[in-house]
Amino acid sequence: MSTPTHTPIHTHPDIVALRERYDQAAEQPTAQVADGLLLLSGLYAAASAWIIGFADQTSLTMTNLVCGIAIALLALAFGSAYGRTHGMAFVAPLLGVWMIVSPWIVAGVDTTTAMIWSNIVVGAVVCVLGLGTVAVGMGGPARLRRGDRPLSHRR
């Protein structure tokens, strides 16, 4: 009895072609600028408690630090390997929304105007840039749905 040979999923021609398309989309200047600004926004969010001066609000400081680091790491992943990380793109806009609402949700925070505006602005920027990152990923599969053959099937 012969056993059929199976190609591992990570080397399947269609998966490889999709990753190539995602990586090509991520190489566009607009996507690179969005990734860079997302990285800077994440770094600002992480350091905002010390920049604005609410480091004494420990719970919000830790929230901003963790969210900022997560945003920056996502931006690095998108910039370096979007073909493999596009499935996590939806997380960036969610973190942006969290940044906006966190001053009112996190317990034990005495809010100030500067703290609120800092979180709203950085959250809105992260949300918009995150939605842009999601949109970059929406272009790859759409081309396959329109009938383009995967790169592995082209001659």
- Token code pair at residue 127: 């949300």
Residue 85, pLDDT score? 78
Identify whether the C-beta of residue 109 lies closer than 8 Å to the C-beta of residue 57: yes
Identify whether the C-beta of residue 137 lies closer than 8 Å to the C-beta of residue 83: no
- Token code pair at residue 42: 């994440």
C-alpha span between 123 and 96 (Å, rounded): 4
Largest CA distance in the chain: 74
Quote the mean pLDDT of the chain.
82
**Predicted confidence (pLDDT) per residue in 44-65, tens digit:** 999 999 999 999 999 999 999 9
